[in-house]
Amino acid sequence: MGRKQKLRQERKIKNKNPTSAVITTAPEATVEVASEGVPSEAAMTAIVVEVDSVFPKSDEYVQATVDTQIINGNEHYKLRPSEQYALIKQGATEHGCVHSMLLMDKLLRKGSTTTEGHYNPMYMHLAHPWLLEGAIRGNFRCIMTLIGEYYFDHAELNRNADVLIDYWGKIAHNANSRLPNLALNGLKDRLVRTCVICSKTDTNTSTLKQCIGCSFHCYCSETCQTTHWKDRKHRNECKQLRILNKYHKPYFNEIRDAVIRGDKEIPSLEKLRYKLGLTRPLEDYQELIDYNTHDGKLINPKDYVVAREDGTVWVGSFPSSPIGT
C-alpha cells in the first residue's frame, strides 16, 4: 500500500472513530501534567536540569558551549555551527556525553531553514537516536524531550507511541519522585477499559482482550486488533517496549550510575544499544540521512521516530561504540 493511500485510510479510521483512545490520550495526559500540585514548565525544567547536572560534561561539550551569548532570547554560540556540531558529535560518540546527546537533538532539529525558536521537524528522524542514547543512559532532559516533543506529537497524528510514553514516564518518575508522573498508566490502572480502535467498553456479554505484548491496550475483536497492530503500527512500538523491558528496565540504575561515574566499558549498555538497533551500520539507513527518502519515496520524518516492525530504531546513532577502545 502506498503512503498516500495509507494516510487516507488512517484519516478514514480517525474520522470514523472520533473518540478513539489513541486520539484522546495526548490531551488527557497534558491535562494531568498541568493539574494542581504539578510544577510549572519553568519549575520543571529547573528540577530536570538540576537532576541531570550529576552527569559529567565532556571537554568537547564545554568547548562547544562555553562561549554563548543571548540574542533575542535565543542562545547563540560563537563557534560556527559546523564546528560546534563536530565537537558535540565527538563528545557524544567518543565519551558518551549525555549533554552532547541532548544538544545533538537541538542542533539537528534546528536545521538551517527553521524560523527562530521553532524546531525543524524535517530532521526529527535524524535527531531521535541521539535522544534515545541519552534516555537509556538515564538523562531526564532526553527522556522528557522524547515524551513531549516526539511521542506525544506522534499520538496526535494518530500514530501510536502511547506505550513508550508510559514506559519512559514511569522510568523517570520511579527514578526520581521530584519528576512529575508523565506515564499514561496501563490497562490495570484505568477505570474504564475501552477498545483502542472503536471505543467499545466491557459489558456483561463481551469482554475485551488485552494486547499480550504490552498489556496496555485492549481490543473488542480481532479486526480492531489487526487495525491497531498493522495500520496504526502498534506492532512497532510494542516490540520496542519488549526490548526496553528486557534490556533496559532491569539495568536502568546500573547503566545510569556507570555513566555518571564515567566508566569506559558498560556491557549492559552496549547490549541494549545493540538490541535497539542503535549500533546498526550506516548503510542500513544512509538513504534516510542523505535524501529524506525510503525506497526512493520522500518520507514524513514523524513516521521514522519510533521503531521498525521488529522494534529497532530506523536510524542508528554510531555503529559501534568507540568508548573504551
Specify the residue, 133 or 162, whose C-beta has the smaller distance to Zn ion: 162
Q: Is 284 exposed, middle or buried (0-12, 13-18, 19+ CB in 10 A)?
A: middle
Residue in 87, 108, 132, 211 binding Zn ion, rule: CB under 5 A: 211
CB of 294 to Zn ion, least distance (A): 24
Specify the residue, 14 or 294, whose C-beta has the smaller distance to Zn ion: 14
Question: Which of the stretches 65-73, 149-157, 212-220, 246-254 binds Zn ion when contact is defined by CB under 5 A?
Answer: 212-220
Question: Which of the stretches 4-12, 73-81, 171-179, 216-224 binds Zn ion when contact is defined by CB under 5 A?
Answer: 216-224
Question: Which of the stretches 50-58, 111-119, 123-131, 231-239 binds Zn ion when contact is defined by CB under 5 A?
Answer: 231-239
Strand 218-219 and strand 209-210: pairing? antiparallel
Q: Which of residues 165-204 bind Zn ion (CB under 5 A)?
A: 195, 197-198, 200
Three cell numbers written together for 230: 498493522
Specify the residue, 173 or 200, whose C-beta has the smaller distance to Zn ion: 200
- Cα angle 222-27-51, degrees, rounded to a multiple of 5: 110
- Of 49, 214, 220, 205, whose CA–CA distance to 142 is shortest? 49
- Cβ atoms of 294 and 288 within 8 Å: the answer is yes
Residue 218 in contact with Zn ion, rule: CB under 5 A: no
Phi then psi for residue 69, to 5 deg, are -130, 150
Strand 68-71 and strand 74-77: pairing? antiparallel
Specify the residue, 95 or 232, whose C-beta has the smaller distance to Zn ion: 232
Residue in 224, 266, 307, 315 binding Zn ion, rule: CB under 5 A: 224
Cα torsion 13, 196, 24, 26: sign: negative
Residue 214 in contact with Zn ion, rule: CB under 5 A: yes
CA distance 29 to 300: 25
Specify the residue, 176 or 206, whose C-beta has the smaller distance to Zn ion: 206
Residue 311 in contact with Zn ion, rule: CB under 5 A: no
Q: Which residues bind Zn ion (CB under 5 A)?
A: 195, 197-198, 200, 211, 213-214, 220, 224, 238
